[in-house]
């Protein structure tokens, strides 16, 4: 189709990367501009653990894209180190912050119990077992606390583990949540926690920020570019259970700090990650790639 100027391919790692490479090849056969947009939080592991021939194939695929888009400066630097493509840019994930408005009748001061919330795949890689260990330490401080785990994954194993740690009575497994229920649960929480071992740029963090929650996470992937330690949240190394617990306690014991960090997060999302801003940046990249103007936001 001569009306098609650009093929914009979104991909992750492993099988997803190889499947999407087929579309890149087709695009190049038809002499279209191809953008390869990498989202995989484990792309570094995927490449580093691949056999030598597979690494060569991965690099060759990357080299054939007209533009590579990644999620942050961290990923830009890494992808530059494994291929010879000189057109690697980063663009942040967007968030529709106007969808995350406070539900009617919801009052932040109605939180009688201090609530932590996690949203994502329930797995070791996301640090959920570390979070339960941290919860056990926090409970020793005699705090009235509740942890809500939103997501699918290793639910049976995690329920058994919470029983072993004697925290099952303060852990809620609510499954995968979307829409108004997700927004309601975020507004009913005090702190968003995501202690992952690998990440791209988590949408869940941006959504938590948009409702004014402080964030505690880990120094992996793009997270240190959106969460500045001590300014709009706290960061620990993956697996640092004591650090995780201490930072949660630090926030819970300082209501003013929680409020200030939450307000900073809502401001940052509106300024940097709102969908209209990201779409505008994307249109600029399209224009740069083709020399043609692609509408406006």
CA dihedral 120, 126, 127, 132 (to 10 degrees): 30
Q: Is residue 46 within 8 Å of 72, Cβ to Cβ?
A: no
- Residue 58 is predicted with a pLDDT of 97
Full 3-state SS string of 113-162: CEEEEEECCECCCCCHHHHHHHHHHHHCCCCCEEEEEECCECHHHHHHHH
**Helix H segments across the chain?**
15-29, 43-48, 52-63, 73-82, 128-139, 155-164, 179-187, 203-210, 223-226, 241-252, 255-268, 275-290
- Residue 105 is predicted with a pLDDT of 55
DSSP helix/strand/coil, 175? strand
Show Cβ contacts of residue 72 under 8 Å, excluding neighbours closer than 6 positions: 90, 92, 201, 221, 222, 225, 226
- Residue 210 is predicted with a pLDDT of 94
- Residue 112 is predicted with a pLDDT of 64
Task: Pick the closest to residue 6 from 291, 293, 286, 297 (CA basis).
Answer: 286
- Residue 134 is predicted with a pLDDT of 97
Show Cβ contacts of residue 204 under 8 Å, excluding neighbours closer than 6 positions: 119, 120, 192, 194
Per-residue pLDDT of the chain (297 residues; tens, 9 = 90+): 677 889 999 999 999 999 999 999 999 999 999 999 999 889 999 999 999 999 999 999 999 999 999 999 999 999 999 999 999 999 999 998 778 777 755 554 445 679 999 999 999 999 999 999 999 999 987 678 999 999 999 999 999 999 999 999 999 999 999 999 999 999 999 999 999 999 988 999 999 999 999 999 999 999 999 999 999 999 999 999 999 999 999 999 999 999 999 999 999 998 899 999 999 999 999 999 998 887 665
């Amino acid at each position: 189709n001569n009306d098609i100027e650009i093929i914009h391919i979104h991909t992750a790692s492993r099988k997803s990367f190889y499947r999407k490479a087929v579309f890149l090849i087709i695009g190049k056969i038809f002499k279209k501009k191809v953008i390869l947009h990498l989202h995989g939080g484990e792309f570094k592991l995927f490449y580093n653990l691949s056999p030598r021939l597979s690494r060569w194939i991965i690099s060759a695929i990357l080299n054939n894209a007209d533009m590579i888009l990644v999620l942050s400066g961290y990923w830009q630097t890494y992808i530059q180190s494994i291929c010879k493509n000189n057109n690697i840019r980063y663009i942040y994930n967007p968030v529709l912050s106007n969808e995350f408005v406070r539900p009617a009748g919801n009052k932040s001061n109605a939180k009688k119990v201090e609530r932590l919330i996690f949203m994502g795949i329930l797995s070791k890689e996301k640090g959920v077992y570390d979070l339960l260990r941290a919860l056990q330490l926090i409970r020793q401080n005699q705090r009235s606390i509740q942890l809500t785990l939103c997501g699918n994954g290793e639910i049976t194993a995690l329920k058994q583990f919470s029983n072993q740690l004697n925290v099952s009575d303060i852990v809620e497994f609510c499954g995968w949540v979307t829409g108004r229920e997700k927004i309601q649960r975020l507004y009913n929480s005090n702190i968003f926690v995501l202690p992952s071992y690998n990440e791209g740029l988590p949408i869940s963090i941006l959504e938590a920020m948009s409702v004014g929650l402080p964030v505690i996470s880990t120094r992996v992937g793009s997270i240190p570019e959106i969460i500045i330690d001590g300014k709009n949240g706290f960061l620990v190394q993956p697996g640092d259970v004591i650090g995780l617990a201490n930072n949660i306690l630090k926030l819970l014991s300082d209501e003013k700090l929680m409020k200030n960090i939450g307000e900073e997060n809502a401001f940052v999302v509106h300024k940097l990650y709102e969908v209209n801003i990201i779409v505008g940046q994307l249109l600029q990249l399209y224009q740069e790639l083709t020399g043609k103007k692609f509408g406006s936001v």
